[in-house]
Amino acid sequence: SGEWNRHNLSLPGLQIYNVDSYHDPHDGSKLGKNSIFVLEMEKPRLRIVHLGDLGHRLTEEQRAQIGKVDLLMIPVGGYYTLTLEEVLAVIEHLQPRAVIPVHFRTTHNPHTPIGSVEDFICLNLPYQVKYKDSRVCLTSQELPDQTEIWVMEYMLPAEYPGNTS
């Protein structure tokens, strides 16, 4: 119900904005609205896109608003978000240099109905899969020329840097 919250934040060397989308393939009638967040950095020149809980293939208008993608964070657990077939279609349309799967079942949430990252990477993907630490240093030179899937090391909330609880 209502309009999306618009975000357009400019900081020195960084622009952040959102692209309207839905949490389901029925124009949000089942699960509501979703915002895709785009972060454009000047130095290094990078565009990072987090699809949030996207639940449908992207429209041409949404793809145009997103633009060229260097790093894409995409939900791969299905159920509440994209199907695995839709995940592959979105990656194919956006052609990012690197993809980080997000929103999947882990040992921390084993009873959730969403799929695991293994369910995604065992699909005989047309992309190289690389396993990374929980942090990566991004520069345009370090990003691959061809799309790669980066499976990040999972951290429990208590392991987050700076967590004092």
| CATH for 26 | 3.60.15.10
125 Cβ contact list (under 8 Å, min separation 6): 88, 149
Is 164 a domain residue?
no
What pLDDT, in 10s, does the model give residues 78-108? 888 898 899 999 999 999 999 999 988 888 8
Range of the domain at 74: 8-153
More confident residue, 47 or 136: 47
CB 13 within 8 A of CB 43: yes
In a domain, 160, yes or no: no
In a domain, 3, yes or no: no
Asked whether residue 131 is assigned to any structural domain, the reply reads yes
Q: Is residue 97 part of a domain?
A: yes
Domain count along the chain: 1
Position 115 scores a pLDDT of 85
Q: Is residue 24 in some structural domain?
A: yes
Confidence of residue 163 (pLDDT cuts 50, 70, 90): low
Q: Say if 14 falls within a structural domain.
A: yes
2-53 per-position pLDDT tens digit: 677 788 889 999 999 999 998 888 888 888 899 999 999 988 889 999 999 9
